[in-house]
A and B are shown apart, each in its own frame.
Chain A
Amino acid sequence: MSTKGTHIPDHLKIPFAGITPAPSQEKGQDLFPTGNWRSIRPVYRDKLPPCNNACGTNEKIQGYLDLVKRGKYLDAYALIKEDMPFPSVTGRVCYHPCEQACNRGKYDEAISIRAVERFLGDLGQALTHDVVKAGAPNGKKVAVVGSGPAGHSAAYQLARLGYKVTILEKSPKAGGLNRGGIPDWVLPAHVLDREIERLVELGITIKTNVEVGKDVTWDDLKKNYDACVLAVGLTEPNSVRAEGENKDGVLYGLPFLRDIGMGTSKAKLGARVAVIGGGNTAIDCAREALRQGAAEVTMITVEGNSKEMPASPEDLHDMLEEGVELLHGRAVTAVLGNGKVEALQLHPARFSGAINASPITVDRDVQPERFAVDNVIIAVGQRASLKWLPDEFKNERGTIKIDRFGRLGDTNFFAAGDIVQLGSGQPLMVVNAVGDGKRVAFNLDKVLRGEPLQPRSIPIDVIVDLNRMNMTYFPHFPRVQQTLLPPASRRRSQDEVIQAFSEEQAVEEAARCFSCGTCNACDNCYLVCPEPCIARPERSNGLYKILVDYCKGCRVCIEECPTGCLEGVPELDFDTGVVRMDTAFAISPGLHGRQAEELMNLGDRPAKNI
């Protein structure tokens, strides 16, 4: 008997015939944690998608598009409502900087984000009770002067924070530029009315026909409210400084649109109308002029060609479809006619420096043109009317002087919207005003609670490089187009020109979103890992976990992440608690002996559920 008297030392104990008990799914094969093989570790780091970044109010666009993909429209709507009070408005009127920034635009066609937002906004409007509720009352009162986009946004956010908000609006109807600057065939009145209703449902009081400087003074505001947001906008139209500009039949852009929007318009247009200006307001005026009965409408711009015009290319295109003519490189030097405009005197002109941001040089040496018109609508921008404002808060641009947080000095007065954004370099857009109003509301809240106002310090990583994502997961798909009413008929009607997405179209278009740099729980990393060492308690962004004890740093997950939210960080010193192994074998002595024990007791364990 050769084996008589033999005994296997503890460190060499192994299970019977080398048969090993199975490792568990919970712990993995913990005799051999392979984590310390790696020199690079994958980490999940959501980057800022360019759409969220470009949006004036930083809507969580990627987030709500993802929810639409999943059929969770109500959740998507609620997500927009965190930053944007009226998606059914911006879903119609916004010039969508998000779509300009959309990475898909570099790949095939940008996502039609605005149309999806409109789908969700309209869905939200149909709810009997909105998903947003007023916050628990904190006993403080805030006045918001102006019910345009900035004021609407500020009031909305303040009500959600628990403030008692009163909006003071000088016009007979609330809405500001939403009402008065945007035609019905872009934004139907009933849609805006419903949004105003929602403000009232939040407990906000709206007082119309109340003008600051006339019906209420600076001191009234100071006395009767804990804080105030000035969102008065730019109400005075700019002049072209042409001789005879005061003749009859000369209209100004925003007042023209505003009167129509308020229902107080008395303008009667003749057959030939000229519109002066190259911006979005000018375009709206030109198209509105057609609908108000003009037979021929001509837009006259200083800009030398269409590309130089600040107007939205789509709107320009739609305008041209409707038959508006375009004249470039001219300025109006005089308005001709006998008490009433009969013609315009035009001279060649150009911007002396940067387009739309420098003085206009007029070439008066050339013979001027005579352009016959029945009416002219001058739409060359707006300026502020701030007689009521204490001088210390006026700045050299003619707008309100604020610090970077939107605050007037040390007061509890804040200002937001076009009134402070004019000349800031930011284009004047509804969405920028909304963002401004939102940020100012949060800053106001901080001040009233005694918290310090601090600028943002965390660096933001906006993902714009398609090489950081994996394009093989995104075959080319064309953009889903919204249908438009035919030009011939629409130029005479106030019907909404651009049609809404159906549910199928909204989902189809949302499906094209790359979810740039942001995990959307596609499960690809989880699926391709060779170990596998990616775990998730449920399938949701933020719940994927790399099991660092096992990850070998192969980086297949990083490579196959379609959205690029996975990154590799160098890791040579194992600060993640990875078990160091001194040998290439089981990490400590006696583990095989443990296996032997486990095997012997195999029969006592409950049977695995299969």
Chain B
Amino acid sequence: MPAIEVERQILPILGSPNQGARFYNPELPSSEPFVPGHRTCAGCGPSIQYRMTSKASGDNTILVGPTGCMYVANSSYLCTPYNVPWAHTQIGSAGSFTAGVAAAYEAMIRKGKWKGAFPNIICEAGDGSASDIGLASISGALYRNHDCLIICYDNEQYANTGIQASSRTPYGGMTTFSPPGPLVPEAKKLFPKDLARMMAAGHPHCYVATASVGYPIDLMNKVRKGLNHKGAAYLMVYTPCQKGFVYETPRSIDLGRLVVECGLYPIWEWNPEKRAYDYSFRPQSMRPVSEYLKLQGRFGHLHAEHIATLQKFANEQWRMMGVQLPEALIQAADAKNLVNMAAAAEAEAVAQTL
């Protein structure tokens, strides 16, 4: 029997919510594949992303959930919120389970065993999965170019297991595996992996982009671009976690904007056709990193020199984006200029007793 041509959906890109001075979101699709009644924390950043992603993708979607908050918190206890098919897989199987689903549909449609347009297959992997244990499986899926979208919802830690450091946890980020103490006043010495760039550089035939819940329409459009791209696509999305970051719950979206405005989470796209980065995204303002850090308890232990170190890191990100650095941010990268902030020498480090 002759092979059947696999039909693939193309989803339209949404218009910008900023129409001149007016703020007005474009018409959103009405379908709601992610429904309420799940155990995620109030204000959960990954949940916000999950809902936006599902909405952008629509009903012809299959979701893959490697172990993490978006598995455990969403589906406990036998109370899943997914109105589209979803499967749990092992934390390290993010890319491979997804590849299996994609391959299955290629074969089943081609061989006439399933009729319809190729479903949108989306893997939602936390950064623990995407950056550590599942890195190889995701790289494999991207390299093999399965028609799927792999999303790393980046809350910069292993959250579901009670907040532990991952290779995405920022310098200075307190977690239960990287607590501050007299020997480690900055709590975390290591800088995170540049995960999204690894994916772009290593798999240039794929659509790769970063996004943030602070820019919902941009996020949804990138989801659609990834799904429309014939082949593998990868998104790394900043999704703040109230439990791990320790901030006031209503600020989830706000943090998503601030992290970009401080240069700590550059928003860019990798264009697989042009084989080039698109750094044209510009946030509304540029701020010193302290404006982002001060809202979060997980950075409460930082001293001036640590903040200056982070500012230096942020300044490098701005340079990468081709943004002219204002004098204020250059100054802020020197601890001497960070007035009213405790210096390590002056502050008394209080050791935690277990």
| Chains A and B touch (C-beta atoms under 8 A apart) | yes
Interface set of A (CB-CB < 8 Å, partner B): 14-15, 18, 20, 22-25, 28-34, 37-38, 69, 472-475, 477, 508, 511-512, 520, 522-524, 526-533, 539, 547, 549-550, 552-556, 558-560, 562, 585-586, 592, 595, 608-610
In the complex, B322 has a CB within 8 A of chain A = no
Stretch in contact with the other chain, from B145-153, B158-166, B246-254: B246-254
B63-98 vs A: 1/0 string, CB under 8 Å? 000000000000001111111110000000000000
Query: Across the interface, do A20 and B78 meet the contact criterion of CB distance under 8 Å?
Result: yes
Number of B residues with CB within 8 Å of any CB on chain A: 54
**Is A69 a contact partner of B83 (Cβ separation < 8 A)?**
no
CB neighbours of B202 from chain A (8 A):
none
Report 29 cross-chain contacts, Cβ distance below 8 Å, ordered by A residue.
Answer: A22-B85, A23-B80, A25-B31, A25-B32, A28-B35, A28-B81, A29-B36, A29-B37, A34-B36, A38-B42, A69-B22, A69-B24, A474-B23, A512-B21, A522-B17, A523-B25, A523-B28, A524-B25, A527-B52, A529-B48, A530-B45, A531-B37, A531-B38, A532-B34, A556-B250, A556-B253, A559-B253, A586-B79, A610-B58
A559: B residues at CB distance < 8 A: 250-251, 253-254
A586 partner residues in chain B, CB cutoff 8 A: 77-79
- For the complex formed, measure the closest distance between the CB of B106 and the CB atoms of chain A, giving whole angstroms: 18
Minimum CB–CB distance from A19 to chain B (whole Å) comes to 9
Asked whether B48 lies within 8 Å of A528 as measured between CB atoms, the reply is: yes
* A22 lies within 8 A of B78 (CB): no
Q: Which residues of B contact A512 (CB under 8 A)?
A: 21-22
- Give A475 to B38 CA distance when docked, in angstroms: 36
Residue in chain A with minimal CB distance to B84 = A22
9 nearest interchain CB pairs?
Answer: A29-B37, A554-B43, A554-B42, A531-B36, A550-B36, A511-B22, A559-B250, A530-B47, A552-B42
CA distance A217 to B254 in the complex (A): 69
B39 interface neighbour in A30, A32, A595, Cβ under 8 Å: A32
Q: Is B59 an interface residue (CB 8 A)?
A: yes
> Is B280 in contact with chain A by the CB < 8 A criterion?
no
B20 within 8 A of A: yes
Q: B271 near A: Cβ within 8 Å? A: no
- Does B19 touch A at the CB level, under 8 Å? yes
The answer to whether B38 and A29 touch across the interface, beta carbons within 8 angstroms, is: yes
B281 to chain A minimum Cβ distance, whole angstroms, is 15
Contact (Cβ within 8 A) A34 B37: yes
A22-B85, A533-B36, A547-B36 as given contacts; A556 in contact with B25, CB under 8 Å? no
Contact (Cβ within 8 A) A595 B81: no
| Contact assessment for A595 and B78 in the assembled complex, using a CB-CB cutoff below 8 Å | yes
On whether A554 and B21 interact (CB within 8 A), knowing A530-B51, A585-B77, A586-B78, the answer reads no
Bitwise, B193-221 to A at CB < 8 A (1) or not (0) is: 00000000000000000000100100000
- In the complex, which residues of chain B have a beta carbon less than 8 angstroms from the beta carbon of A30? 37
Q: Which residue of A lies closest to B79 (CB)?
A: A32
Q: Give the CA-CA distance A511 to B43 in the complex, in Å.
A: 30
| CB-CB under 8 A for A556 and B37, given A474-B23, A524-B25, A586-B77 | no
Smallest CB-CB separation from A27: which chain B residue? B35
Residues of A with C-beta under 8 A to B31: 25
Cβ contacts under 8 Å, A33 to chain B: 37
Within 8 A of A (CB), among B1-35: 17-25, 27-28, 31-35
Q: Choose one: A29, A475, A549; the contact of B284 (CB below 8 Å).
A: A475
Q: With an 8 A cutoff between CB atoms, is B116 at the interface?
A: yes
Contact indicator B19/A511 (Cβ below 8 Å): yes
Nearest CB in chain A to that of B9: its residue: A610
Judge if B60 is at the interface, Cβ distance under 8 Å. yes
Residues of B within 8 A of A23 (CB): 35, 37, 79-83
Contact A556 B252 (CB under 8 A): yes
CA distance A28 to B47 in the complex (A): 15
Shortest CB-to-CB span from A105 to chain B, Å, is 15
> Do B38 and A34 touch across chains, with their CB atoms under 8 A apart?
yes
Chain A residues positioned under 8 Å from B33 (CB to CB): 25
Residues of A within 8 A of B77 (CB): 32, 585-586
Minimum CB distance partner of A22 in chain B: B83
Which A residues lie within 8 Å of B233 (CB)? none
Contact A28 B36 (CB under 8 A): yes
Q: Is the CB of B82 within 8 A of A22?
A: yes
Q: Cα distance A155–B17 when bound, in Å?
A: 44
Chain A minimum-CB-distance residue to B249: A554
Q: B318-332 toward A: CB 8 Å interface, digit per residue (1/0)? A: 000000000000000
Q: How far is the CB of B13 from chain A (nearest CB, A)?
A: 16
- Check if B44 is an interface residue, CB within 8 A of chain A: yes
Asked whether B59 lies within 8 Å of A609 as measured between CB atoms, the reply is yes
* Residues in B whose Cβ lies below 8 Å from that of A520: 24
Q: Quote the shortest CB–CB distance from B178 to chain A (angstroms).
A: 27
Decide: A531 near B47, CB < 8 A? Known: A23-B80, A29-B81, A558-B250. yes
Partner of B249, one of A511, A555, A585: A555
- CB-CB < 8 A to A555: which residues of B? 43, 249-250
CB of B35, distance to nearest CB on chain A (Å): 4
A22: chain B residues at CB < 8 Å are 80, 82-85
Given contacts A22-B84, A472-B284, A532-B36, contact A29 B79 (CB under 8 A): yes
From B35, B38, B257, residue with most partner A Cβ within 10 Å: B35
